[in-house]
Amino acid sequence: MLEKYGHGGDLRSASELFGKNVDELLDYSSNMNPLGPPKSFKQAIEDYWQHIVHYPDPVQRELVAAIADKHKLKQESIVVGNGAAELIDLIVRQLQPAKAALLIPSFVEYEQAIVKAGCEPIYIETSEQLGFIPTLEQLQQVHASKRPDLYMLGYPNNPTGTLIPMEYILYLLDEGATVVIDEAFIDFHLEEEQLTMMQWLERYDRLFVIRSMTKFYSIPGIRLGYMAGDERTIRALKQLQVPWSVNSLAQRLGCIAFSESEFADQTKAWLAEEIPWMKDAIEQLHLKPYATVTNYMLVGIGEHYDINSKQLQQLMGARGILIRDAATFRGLSDRYIRLAIKSRKSNHMMLGALADVLKDYRKDERNVTKS
Ligand SMILES: Cc1ncc(COP(=O)(O)O)c(C=O)c1O
């Protein structure tokens, strides 16, 4: 399977699995901004070689100042990490909750971090019928009966692309819960400023907000993310971190990223246009796209085709196109795949291959029970 090491975007595993060169593959299994990386990053990388003779700034002064400025936060409330993944792991290790709640389906690293820290996961099931969003009553019930010490929530959630309503998160915080919000994909949203939970950090000292630079700037190979929250916890958490975990190139690119406002505006505008187009195109293939607010889409294989997600991934892979088998997410069956949203040209290529594969698996319409 493609997700041998737990994630999409693993080109080396894909190359071994499908017998293709890495550069022949079109990757719809991980979700990078097709407009990125910003052009300014190229020059920064070319200039960088002179700096590799020095250790990186161990406390990332310039980058922390830029992050504090962007979110109007105190520098002491910020920690920079080797990708959001490092921070997901660190915050759970620092807080050492006995029980931590997470939505299913959600990003696999939440559960891994919880289990690795010896903590008990509390699953909050979401359903297709309710758009993969839990109800407030459900959260109230979990909170009252299980009393999780921590909630880990993707905002937007992965793989569903949905946003849990802000009032639900505020309800948990008002109840005194500790909540970690993963905003790895929030920067793609036109209303990022209004939606971000960063605005509540001053009010709630049990709220932690994680950001990733990976997706929006298309730099998964660089590893850069940050988290903001209560100063004392952040200070203690830094003690758990490996020294120099954020290399100097990552720090440099992070600083440049914050000045790329045109790139940010273009990205948000591109995606706002591409989501409805993609949804429409998927519907035309008689598949079932679920509503998303970000640059990937959960897709149900539905009732029209006699094929499962693993077979579909295999047949698409043989055509050089990688898709995510969503059955690898707890709570989803082999009737779901996750597709990135990329440039119109790539989307056409991916959809063309999908149509080609699916045509051999179309059910006789008399056997279709639901549409
Ligand atoms: C929801 C979510 N959070 C965090 C991450 C990790 O991001 P990073 O590359 O910054 O470690 C991912 C990566 O796929 C993700 O999907």
In tens, the pLDDT along 51-95 reads: 999 999 999 999 999 999 999 999 999 999 999 999 999 999 999
Atom of ligand 1 nearest to the CA of 31: 14
What spacing in Å lies between the alpha carbon of 345 and ligand 1's midpoint?
Answer: 25
* Class of residue 67 by CB neighbours under 10 A (exposed 0-12, middle 13-18, buried 19+): buried
Q: Evaluate: CB of 18 within 6 angstroms of ligand 1.
A: no
What spacing in Å lies between the alpha carbon of 221 and ligand 1's midpoint?
Answer: 12
What spacing in Å lies between the alpha carbon of 264 and ligand 1's midpoint?
Answer: 19
Q: First-to-last CA distance in the chain? A: 29
Atom of ligand 1 nearest to the CA of 182: 3
On the question of a common fold for 11-30+262-364 and 40-259, the answer reads no
Q: Please, what is the average pLDDT of the chain?
A: 96
Evaluate if residue 13 carries a pLDDT over 90: no
**CA 242/CA 223 separation, integer angstroms:** 14
Q: Are 98 and 119 in contact (CB under 8 A)?
A: yes
What spacing in Å lies between the alpha carbon of 212 and ligand 1's midpoint?
Answer: 7
Q: Evaluate: CB of 214 within 6 angstroms of ligand 1.
A: yes
Q: Evaluate: CB of 225 within 6 angstroms of ligand 1.
A: yes
Choose one of 106, 189, 212, 293 to mutate for the ligand 1 pocket test, by most ligand atoms within 8 angstroms of C-beta: 212
Angle, helix 40-48 to helix 248-257, in steps of 10 degrees: 150
Mean pLDDT of 285-290: 97
**CA 155/CA 191 separation, integer angstroms:** 13
Residue type, 73: L
pLDDT of residue 3: 80
**CA 236/CA 173 separation, integer angstroms:** 22
Atom of ligand 1 nearest to the CA of 185: 1
What spacing in Å lies between the alpha carbon of 2 and ligand 1's midpoint?
Answer: 17
**CA 199/CA 193 separation, integer angstroms:** 9
**CA 119/CA 101 separation, integer angstroms:** 10
Q: Evaluate: CB of 3 within 6 angstroms of ligand 1.
A: no
Choose one of 214, 219, 245, 293 to mutate for the ligand 1 pocket test, by most ligand atoms within 8 angstroms of C-beta: 214
Count Cβ neighbours within 10 Å for each residue of 189-226 and write b for 16 or more, e otherwise.
beeeeebbbbebbeebebbbbbbbbbbbbbbbebbbbb
**CA 293/CA 291 separation, integer angstroms:** 7
Of the chain, the percentage scoring pLDDT greater than 90 comes to 91
pLDDT of residue 369: 61
Atom of ligand 1 nearest to the CA of 86: 11
Distances (CA, A) of 162 to 27, 106, 128: 22, 10, 11
For 147, phi and psi rounded to 5 degrees? 45, 60
**CA 179/CA 364 separation, integer angstroms:** 48
Instruction: Name the residue with tokens 């929030």.
Output: 186
Q: Is the CATH code 3.40.640.10 the one for domain 40-259?
A: yes
The strand pair at 225-228 and 150-154 is best described as unpaired
Determine the Cα angle at 236 with ends 234 and 240, to 5°.
105
Atom of ligand 1 nearest to the CA of 106: 1
Evaluate if residue 40 carries a pLDDT over 70: yes
What spacing in Å lies between the alpha carbon of 259 and ligand 1's midpoint?
Answer: 22
pLDDT of residue 371: 45
What spacing in Å lies between the alpha carbon of 236 and ligand 1's midpoint?
Answer: 23
- Which CATH fold topology does 11-30+262-364 show? Aspartate Aminotransferase, domain 1 (3.90.1150)
In tens, the pLDDT along 238-283 reads: 999 999 999 999 999 999 999 999 999 999 999 999 999 999 999 9
Instruction: Name the residue with tokens 């059955």.
Output: 327
Mean pLDDT of 23-37: 95
**CA 197/CA 210 separation, integer angstroms:** 10
pLDDT of residue 366: 65
Sign of CA dihedral 315, 319, 321, 322: positive
What spacing in Å lies between the alpha carbon of 305 and ligand 1's midpoint?
Answer: 31
In tens, the pLDDT along 105-134 reads: 999 999 999 999 999 999 999 999 999 999
**DSSP structural state of residue 290:** P
Q: Measuring CA to CA, which residue among 361, 356, 349 is closest to residue 27?
A: 349
Q: Where do the structural domains in the chain lie, given as residue ranges?
A: 11-30+262-364, 40-259
Choose one of 27, 107, 188 to mutate for the ligand 1 pocket test, by most ligand atoms within 8 angstroms of C-beta: 107
Q: Measuring CA to CA, which residue among 257, 249, 246, 265 is closest to residue 78?
A: 246
Q: Measuring CA to CA, which residue among 216, 370, 185, 138 is closest to residue 292?
A: 185
Evaluate if residue 214 carries a pLDDT over 50: yes
What spacing in Å lies between the alpha carbon of 362 and ligand 1's midpoint?
Answer: 35
Mean pLDDT of 201-221: 98
Atom of ligand 1 nearest to the CA of 213: 10
